[in-house]
Every structure is written in C-alpha cells, then in structure tokens.
Structure 1
Amino acid sequence: MNTDLTGKLLIALPGIGDPQFSRSVILLCAHSPDFAMGIVLNKPMEGIRLPELFDQLDVSTELGAPDACVLNGGPVSTERGFVIHTGDVISEGATLEIDGVFCMTATRDMLEMIGSSAAPRKSVLALGYSGWGAGQLEMELAANAWLVGDPDDDIVFGDDHGQKWTHALGRMGVDSGRLQIDGGSA
C-alpha cells in the first residue's frame, strides 16, 4: 500500500540519527513509490540572504530582492535554487503544483518575478533539496524517524525558523518537551 504524502510535512523526531536533519521540518514536494523530494523549511543558511544571492547570480529585478533568508533545503543539488511559493504566480511548464496551496519552481524567471511587481504573494528560496530513493522514506517512517503533519503559511513562509519545529509538532498536539529519543520496552 502506498500513501502519497505530497504536500505533507515531515517533522524529524529526536531519534532521527542524522544530525543534518535534527529538528528539521520538510515540505514534501513530490512523493511516489520510486522517490520522494522535499525542502527543509527551518534551516536558514549562514551568511547569505536573498539580495546577496541575487547579486551573485546576476539576477536583474524590477524592485530588487526582498531582504529574506535563503534556506538550506537539503543535501542534494545544493547549487540549485528551489522556490516554494503561493499558486497566484506560476512559470508555465516549470511550476510544480504541490497540493493546491503551495507550488515549487526551480527556474531563473521565478527569481526575477520575486523581485518584481509580478511576485507571488508569498515565497521562500532554498538551495538544495532532500531526496529519498524507492522505499527509503517509507523505511524511515516505519523506524519512527519522522512524524507526518499538515503545513500552514507560518511553517512554510514564516521567518521564525527556530520555532517551526515546535509549531509543527504543536499543530499535531505533540509537546516537544515530552518526546524521547529511545522508545521504552515492556
């Protein structure tokens, strides 16, 4: 049985075992029996903000880049940018509709739109993504590495990155202070 988790959040549990994903909140952008792909939403990159990145990439914009952080979306393709945005603006043939609310686009024209009057209502840019091969995410879920939850605008687009993990757990009724790394035995 395969359950499509596209559009859901993966919320790392304390015993995940990979420090890179400790306390991570990931929006799953695509999920199938063959692969899964998502963007970490709560790990801003050190020392780089959108205006500097736009300068480095020589992205010309009508209004300039908003002063926002750039997220570390995950360890795969860290040289590529992925924009998570509202569906009010799309790049024809390039935008992936995630779930009817959120979209992802990985093209330069979306970067140019972010700095223009044609910008999506809300957006966030990440470098890199998190990826899983066939069955890998399902094994991690079975091993209790992740909880699966629903996203909201604060988690996806908010700038309080230090609270996104706690907020995502709280939306599920989970108190982060009561989570244990190891399970008990009976």
Structure 2
Amino acid sequence: MASSSAGFVAGLTAAAVATVGFLGWQASATAPAALGSAKPTVPPAVSASKAARDGDDPTKLPGGTGTGPRVVYALDDDRVWLVDQGEKVVRTFRVEPGTVDPVPGVYLVSSRSNAITGTDGVPVEHVVRFASVNGVVIGFSAEAGAAAQPADDGVKTGGIRETREDGDAMWRFATIGQRVVVIR
C-alpha cells in the first residue's frame, strides 16, 4: 500500500510541476516586451551620454557620473571605477563585457551570488547583478575555473568579466543597493 501511495503522490507532484511550468511559459509568452526589462533611473546630475574623458589619463574618472559612493562602468572603454563616499577612486580596472550591454543610466545592485555557472558555461564567483535587458541579466563576475562545457556562440550573455582580484574588490564594494552608473 505504501508504494502505491508514493507512486500516486509522485504522479500528482509531476502533474503539478508540469502545470505550473506551462502556466509560467504561457504568462511569459503573453507578457508585454517591456515588462521585466530594467529601466535605469537617471537623475539630472548624471549624464547618460558620452562622459567627458581625460585623453592623457584613460584611468581618470570621467566627469558627469554623479556624486557619492558608486560603481562607474564605461561601455566604450570597458572600464570600471569604484568611487567612495569622499569621491576618491579606490580602484579602476578593465573588464570584458558580455554580448548584451545595459542601457546607459543609473542602476542599483539588485542581487549577488558568491558562486554560480554563467550562461556561457563558465563557473564564476562574486556575481554582482544590477540590470536586465530583454531577459538577459547584467552583472559583474570573475571566472572561478574552466568552462564546464563549450559555450554556445548564439547565447546572449550579460556577464561583465573581471579578474579574480578585481572581482574580490567589486564584491566587497558593491553590496545590495549600491549605485551603478553606466556611461558610454
């Protein structure tokens, strides 16, 4: 009798999971395209256009990125600046962007994961997420090891890769709610 009941419960569970999966798919297929894609909030003090650069020193923080503690990410330069409360750049470094870029603007760190596998099959650590574009999550991360499987060239990725040392610094600096300013 016990094995019969277990089989019945397993069947009900499988049916429930399938139903929830179908309803989730149906809801996502009929949802408006704009729903779920993060929109940056751009205060007047921050320019979302190409920020002024110092031609003599590409590591110098561009102007027009706001004030206070923040992560500044320059799409055109593939560079990040970590800026503290006193407006001092505590670290700057180059990054390797994914295939999908966030829209220039101001975001907040929305979630973090210590270690996961990226959409490209590469184990990553110190993941700091701040945006989503058409269902692709955008965030900073550092490779933690070799790819578990070859990446599909057609996969859209939002992982902005850092070295492990830079990833450690980002992890300590960019906690939940930290501002991320994305500029051209």
Instruction: Provide TM-score, normalisation by structure 2.
Output: 0.29
Select the structure with the greater relative contact order (CA < 8 A; seq sep ≥ 6).
Answer: 1
